[in-house]
Structure 1
Amino acid sequence: MAEPDWDTLIIDYSDLSVARAYTRFVADRVIRNPCIGRQLAGMLERHGFHVSKVLPITTVFRNVTDADQILGLYRVTERAIAARYIKSDAARVWLDSLANATFFASITLFLTVAFLPATLTQKPEAPDQAI
């Protein structure tokens, strides 16, 4: 299984308060469980799975159009303005800069490899041979 940790979302922008407000808004209001990436291994273990590996995979976006398709930069920024996480004038400057400057954003996914220990020791049952 792989899930992101939305607190790891970073967007390079000269005014860190705006970029951080965007990430805070996403984590606070957009994603139902923004911490699922960091919680997944523990959740699986509590439900009887053996977690053999947790691999961090950082996705990097260098193109604002690609990032917008995944992160909804423009759409989510409008929602962040309405929710008063980002001031309208600051958001407009930010979005203009993201569209016209060198772009960088990233987010880390946690790939969690797990299995049920019982599945390693159980032999598959033969299907009934009804005639």
Structure 2
Amino acid sequence: MLSDEIQPSDDLPRKACVITYPGKNGDEWWKSENLINQIINRAIPIFKACFPGYQALFVFDNATSHAIFSPDALIANYMNLGPAGKQEKLCSRSYFREGIGYDKDMIFSSDYHILELHREAKGLREVLREKGL
């Protein structure tokens, strides 16, 4: 609920709750994207209006929201064991080991010694090998 000092406006929703009526002639089934939109477009603006200067922590226990990842997220299940093939070309990653930061390219460079692998995805085996695992 908005505090008495907060004046509702057209760009500030009154409630974070979203009611859907899924079915053949109704709304689409609730998906992870709906949850993200609800938080970004409703819950966060309301929180910021009610508690300026504070930071919120939203916690979810919803099995379908556990599978939300960035399209280029580093997920081993989405990678081939070997190079190239039908796997996404992931963007570079940064990681820390013993307090030192490293950048990790997830595709072979254009000057890699095997011509067929230029600009191809490395695959899980190569990524682990390069990390010394």
Which TM-score band applies after superposition, normalised by the shorter structure?
Answer: under 0.3
Q: Which structure shows the bigger proportion of residues in strand conformation?
A: 1
Q: Which structure shows the bigger proportion of residues in helix conformation?
A: 1
TM-score between the two structures when normalised by the length of structure 1: 0.22
The answer to which structure, 1 or 2, has the higher relative contact order (CA under 8 A, 6+ apart) is 1
Larger radius of gyration: 2
